[in-house]
């Protein structure tokens, strides 16, 4: 199987930020994953360089637009290798072959009669580079750019998009995977339930000079989307390049929800007009928010990927972005959450497993992986968990559920850590009669680590290489490994020499990160509509505080409550099982909660909410804008432990 994966081409009116980095890291991770499944992959990213915004930014910088575009495009090209992102092509809309392809396509669609001259008046948002409909406005403003759109009236060329509306609805309905996650497919279908207007595709040259001239009317340049979207074709040599023939039928685009409409509506209808099959899939993710607003250059709350790399390291950043965001939903970025993930998931869970296992192999088996002897049930259980993890991980990666794929790996990491505790290799090492048992345990740890290292390759390439090297697999050999031939149990050869190295992840403290996102947050108990109460933090006595019974609660199940948008019914262990109702449904999907440890007020009188009795309250942080982040514990604690 082959894959052609793309990111949006980013505007060059400002520098790369975390939002761009996320999409591009997702594309890179997905490319690496499919390559790890022995597939043939082509990964494209690039920059979008024409249009009002760029002409304006260049004017503000006092240089010609092309020079400006060169400068910023270079920043994007230089940013990706710093994050271990390795695209096969980097396309620029000012590339001569792209310009030529756009003009050929315009001519073709014009000849077919699907482009005509008309007049238009409407409300134009410069940020979106398109006219907005009344329905899209919030208090008269563009909700994405928080700006007043300008009334504009002029003659322009239009693409007969409306002609393809019925075909598009039919295509989306017949191909349930065409737009995912499903919420975005539904959004598009709902938009398509109203008559579709034709698409304005030009700007008079008098108003915008910085664009691609229409081949059939030199008085106009093409409007941003008819230029930008075509990069996905020009980049692979449309109409007759070898790569185009090979890759177009397997094209998958990744975008955020801001550009859903151009990709889900304009683009497939343009392709249809061209007589081409639509792309195979569109993967749509949510926004990274900082202080509750979408991170964007026009709002000015951006986070630079280079700074994050310096503060936390590439692999921590990649892991954090993929683990923290559930693809499709919004997520919040803060230094505190990235540090917490580093300390708990990376330094504590993975890092400790790795360093303890290698140290023990070094100390108890002279630095070589010993041969296993007779197996006990817990050895079989670990081997079985590690192998089935590979399958579950792959299934989640295929469906863009990166956070779940990582959860699968982490459940094996935590099982292996428990396996160390229960098998007590340090006790076995004291009794020569127990050497066979000790060898079995050490072998199982080495083999589990090999499989974990293998599945982490797409997400954390450097860590994965380090793990492989420590287990005696050279980079040349490891580069040839794949999930199909090597994602199975038992490939570690007994006798292989391990290489002790530095620890994988240091623990971080607040000094890492520069507090880019100070968030004033209040701690509050999250429960349902009727009993939600902010704890107004005045001064209380120690005795008052002692009345609160705060406990570590581990969530073992979560489900939505019928007819409530806000409430989730949680089953928690603390340590006994109980039901708690929490008003967090707008911020968390039930699936992402299972396995989390939170802090619970355990001695509240039970309260009934939407027919479900709640036996406690979960603590969460609520910032000034009302967004919630659940309380959590940096390292795993025993469910039921008292919090003091």
> Interface residues with ligand ME8 (CB under 6 A)?
8-11, 19-20, 22-23, 48, 228-229, 231, 255-256, 258-259, 287-288, 294-296
Judged by beta carbon, residue 231 or residue 439, the one nearer ligand ME8 is: 231
Helix, strand, coil percentages (3-state) for the chain, rounded to 5, are 45, 20, 35
Q: Which is nearer to ligand ME8, 11 or 80 (CB)?
A: 11
Instruction: Tell me which of 185, 263, 297, 403 is the catalytic residue.
Output: 297
Contact 325, 288 (CB under 8 A): yes
- Given the structure tokens 């259980």, which residue do they identify? 381
Judge whether 615 counts as a catalytic residue: no
Confirm whether 297 is a catalytic residue.
yes
Sheet containing 89-92, strands listed edge to edge, beginning at the edge strand earlier in sequence: 89-92, 40-48, 2-11, 251-256, 281-285, 179-180
Residues 6+ apart with CB under 8 A from 49: 11, 12, 65, 69, 73, 92, 93, 94
Q: How far is the CB of 298 from ligand ME8 (least distance, A)?
A: 9
Active-site annotation holds for 50: no
Catalytic pick among 50, 53, 125, 283: 125
**202: helix, strand or coil:** strand
Buried b / exposed e along 411-436 (16+ C-beta atoms within 10 A): ebbebbbebbeebebeebbeeeeeee
HSE at residue 140, side-chain half, CA atoms within 13 A, is 3
Q: Which of 50, 53, 98, 128 is catalytic?
A: 128
Q: Which residues pair with 153 in a beta bridge?
A: 121
- Between 559 and 623, name the residue whose CB sits nearer to ligand ME8: 623
Catalytic residue (choose from 98, 142, 263, 285): 142
Q: For this structure, is 17 an active site residue? A: yes
Query: Phi first, then psi: what are they for 552, rounded to 5°?
Result: -75, 125
Q: How is 541-606 classified by DSSP, letter by letter?
A: -HHHHHH--EEEEEEEEEEE-TT-SS-EEEEEESSSEEEEEES-TTT--HHHHTT-EEEEE-SSPP
Q: Which is nearer to ligand ME8, 213 or 305 (CB)?
A: 305
In 235-376, which residue ranges form alpha helices assigned H by DSSP?
A: 242-247, 260-261, 267-273, 305-312, 314-324, 335-341, 352-364
Told to judge if 37 belongs to the known catalytic residues of this protein, a careful annotator would answer no
**Contact by Cβ (8 Å): 618, 600:** yes
Report the sign of the C-alpha dihedral through residues 223, 224, 229, 234, in that order: positive
Peptide bond into 181 cis (omega under 30): yes
Residue whose CB is less far from ligand ME8, 330 or 532: 330
Provide, rounded to whole angstroms, the least separation between the CB of residue 178 and ligand ME8.
Answer: 17
Q: Which is nearer to ligand ME8, 168 or 256 (CB)?
A: 256
Q: CA torsion sign, 416 to 418 to 422 to 428?
A: positive
Question: Would you say 44 and 6 are in contact if contact means Cβ atoms under 8 Å apart?
Answer: yes
Distance of alpha carbon 231 from alpha carbon 246, whole angstroms: 16
Catalytic residue (choose from 50, 53, 98, 145): 145
Contact 587, 577 (CB under 8 A): no
The minimum distance between CB 25 and ligand ME8, in angstroms, equals 11
Q: Are strands 115-125 and 150-159 parallel, antiparallel or unpaired?
A: antiparallel
Q: For residue 394, give both structure tokens.
A: 């792959």
- Shortest Å, Cβ 123 to ligand ME8: 19
Distance CA 262, CA 309 (A): 32
DSSP conformation class of 135: G
Q: Is 294 a catalytic residue?
A: yes
Residue 314 beta carbon to ligand ME8: minimum distance, rounded to whole angstroms: 18
Judged by CB, which is closer to ligand ME8: 46, or 583? Answer: 46
Identify the three-state secondary structure at position 125: strand
Question: Rg (Cα) of the chain, in Å, rounded?
Answer: 27
The nearer residue to ligand ME8, 231 or 631, going by C-beta atoms, is 231
- Give the shortest CB-259-to-ligand ME8 separation in angstroms: 5
**Minimum CB–partner distance for residue 133 and ligand ME8 (Å):** 18
Two tokens at 603? Answer: 């001695």
Smallest distance from ligand ME8 to CB 381, Å: 40
For the CB of residue 301, give the shortest distance to ligand ME8 in the complex, in Å.
Answer: 9
Nearer to ligand ME8, 301 or 342 (CB): 301
Q: Which residue of the chain is nearest ligand ME8 when measured via CB?
A: 19
What are the phi and psi torsion angles at 204 (to 5°)?
-65, 140
How far, in whole angstroms, is CA 409 from its chain's centroid?
17
Q: How far is the CB of 161 from ligand ME8 (least distance, A)?
A: 16
Nearest residue (CB) to ligand ME8, 258 versus 349: 258
Give the distance from CA 18 to its chain's centroid. Answer: 11
Residues 6+ apart with CB under 8 A from 100: 234
Query: Catalytic site residue 20?
Result: yes
Catalytic annotation present for 486: no
Tell me how far apart the alpha carbons of residues 353 and 350 are, in angstroms, rounded to a whole number: 5
Q: Residue 232 Cβ, how far from ligand ME8 at the closest point, in Å?
A: 7
Nearer to ligand ME8, 14 or 567 (CB): 14
**Known catalytic residues?**
17, 20, 125, 128, 142, 145, 294, 297
């Amino acid at each position: 199987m082959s894959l052609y994966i793309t990111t949006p081409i980013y505007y060059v009116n400002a520098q790369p930020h975390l939002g761009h980095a996320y999409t591009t890291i997702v594309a890179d991770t997905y490319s690496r994953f499919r390559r790890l499944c022995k597939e043939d992959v082509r990964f494209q990213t690039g920059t979008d360089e024409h249009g009002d915004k760029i002409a304006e930014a260049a004017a503000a910088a006092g240089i010609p637009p092309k020079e400006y575009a060169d400068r910023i495009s270079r920043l994007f090209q230089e940013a990706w290798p710093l994050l271990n992102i390795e695209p096969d092509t980097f396309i620029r809309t000012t590339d001569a072959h792209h310009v030529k392809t756009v003009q050929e396509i315009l001519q073709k669609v014009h000849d077919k009669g699907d482009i005509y001259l008309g007049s238009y008046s409407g409300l134009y948002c410069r940020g979106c580079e398109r006219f907005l409909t009344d329905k899209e406005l919030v208090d008269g403003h563009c909700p994405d750019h928080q700006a007043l759109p300008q009334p504009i009236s002029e003659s322009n060329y239009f693409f007969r998009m409306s002609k393809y509306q019925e075909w598009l609805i039919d295509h989306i309905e017949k191909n349930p995977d065409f737009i995912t996650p499903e919420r975005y497919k539904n959004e598009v279908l709902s938009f398509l339930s109203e008559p579709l207007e034709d698409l304005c595709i030009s700007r008079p040259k008098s108003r915008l000079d910085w664009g691609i001239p229409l081949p059939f009317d030199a008085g106009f340049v093409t409007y941003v989307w008819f230029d930008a979207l075509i990069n996905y074709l020009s980049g692979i040599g449309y109409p007759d390049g070898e790569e185009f023939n090979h890759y177009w039928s397997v094209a998958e685009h990744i975008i955020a929800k801001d550009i859903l409409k151009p990709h889900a509506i304009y683009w497939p209808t343009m392709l249809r007009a061209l007589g081409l099959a639509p792309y195979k899939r569109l993967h749509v993710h949510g926004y990274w928010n900082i202080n509750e607003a979408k991170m964007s250059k026009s709002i000015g709350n951006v986070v630079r990927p280079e700074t994050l790399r310096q503060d936390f390291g590439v692999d921590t950043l990649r892991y954090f972005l993929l683990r923290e965001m559930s693809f499709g939903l919004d997520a919040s970025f803060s230094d505190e959450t990235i540090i917490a993930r580093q300390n708990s998931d990376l330094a504590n869970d993975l890092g400790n497993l790795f360093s303890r296992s290698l140290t023990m192999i070094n100390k108890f088996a002279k630095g070589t992986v010993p041969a296993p002897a007779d197996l006990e049930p817990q050895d079989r259980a670990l081997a079985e968990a590690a192998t089935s993890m590979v399958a579950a991980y792959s299934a989640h990666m295929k469906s863009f559920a990166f956070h779940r794929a990582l959860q699968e790996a982490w459940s094996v990491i935590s099982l292996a850590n428990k396996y160390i505790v229960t098998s007590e290799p340090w006790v076995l090492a004291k009794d020569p009669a127990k050497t066979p048992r000790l060898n079995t345990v050490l072998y199982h740890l080495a083999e589990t680590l090999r499989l974990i290292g293998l599945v982490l390759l797409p997400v954390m390439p450097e860590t994965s290489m380090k793990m492989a090297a420590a287990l005696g697999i050279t980079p040349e050999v490891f580069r040839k490994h794949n999930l199909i031939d090597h994602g199975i149990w038992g490939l570690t050869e007994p006798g292989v020499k391990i290489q002790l190295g530095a620890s994988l992840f240091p623990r971080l403290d607040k000094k890492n990160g520069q507090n880019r996102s100070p968030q004033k947050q209040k701690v509050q108990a999250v429960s349902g509509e009727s009993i939600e109460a902010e704890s107004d933090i005045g001064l209380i006595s120690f005795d008052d505080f002692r009345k609160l019974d705060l406990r570590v609660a581990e969530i073992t199940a979560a489900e939505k409550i019928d007819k409530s948008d806000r409430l989730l019914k949680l089953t928690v262990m603390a340590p006994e099982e109980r039901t708690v109702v929490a008003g967090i449904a707008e911020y968390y999907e039930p699936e992402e909660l299972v396995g989390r440890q939170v802090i619970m007020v355990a001695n509240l009188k039970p309260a009934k909410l939407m027919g479900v009795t709640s036996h406690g309250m979960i603590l969460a942080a609520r910032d000034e804008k009302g967004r919630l982040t659940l309380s959590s514990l940096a390292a795993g604690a025993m469910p039921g432990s008292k919090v003091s």
